Amino acid sequence: MAATHLLYLHGFRSSPKSFKAQRLQAWLAEHHRNVRWWCPQLPPSPREAMALVREGTAGWPAATSAVLGSSLGGFYATVVAEATGWPAVLMNPAVDPARDLGPYVGELSAFHAPEERFFFRADYIDELRAMTPGQISRPERYYAIIAKGDEVLDWREMTARYPGVNLRLLEGSDHALSDFDDHLPHILKFLQPCD
């Protein structure tokens, strides 16, 4: 594919200000100005987050759109990819956020703006559970970057969730993919953004 539209979905407590989102946006602005880029600030409610995404991408072309997601955004990207047929790039994707985010119910702060507070409600766990996709339908549409050094998510669980995908399994790194610039060329090769 030659991607003309790219949707980036950030992780839990993150934002469009995340390093990976900013880096990708800057790269596209410099090298692929014709690509439409959208990285919305996702609300805490998974149901509302997916409604925002559906509304914001309603007119996007099915054949040349793609989605990228990191952590919880990787889970969301899988939901989107399975619903639309778009290719997806997953970066240390959350596999079972309904299980993993249970302890975070309550008032939280945003990573990139600690003064901003929000409430993660117990019913959001049910929303995550309800939208969990089954086995991925077409592994060749997925490109996953998974770090064995991820301090938040288990790399074995992530790789088991995405069998047969185009996989870049890192021996080290971390949950945030602090070495993201090393992976950017591989992401762009998979997406082939238009000029």
Say what the pLDDT of residue 84 is.
96
Say what the pLDDT of residue 48 is.
98
Domains of the chain by range and CATH?
5-191 (3.40.50.1820)
Distance CA 11, CA 171 (A): 22
Say what the pLDDT of residue 195 is.
62
Tens-of-pLDDT digits for all 195 residues of the chain? 689 999 999 999 899 999 999 999 999 999 888 999 999 999 999 999 999 999 999 999 999 999 999 999 999 999 999 999 999 999 999 999 999 999 999 998 887 778 888 889 999 999 999 999 999 999 999 999 999 999 999 999 999 999 999 999 999 988 888 899 899 989 989 998 866
Say what the pLDDT of residue 85 is.
95
Say what the pLDDT of residue 1 is.
64
Q: pTM, whole model, 2 decimals? A: 0.95
Say what the pLDDT of residue 5 is.
95
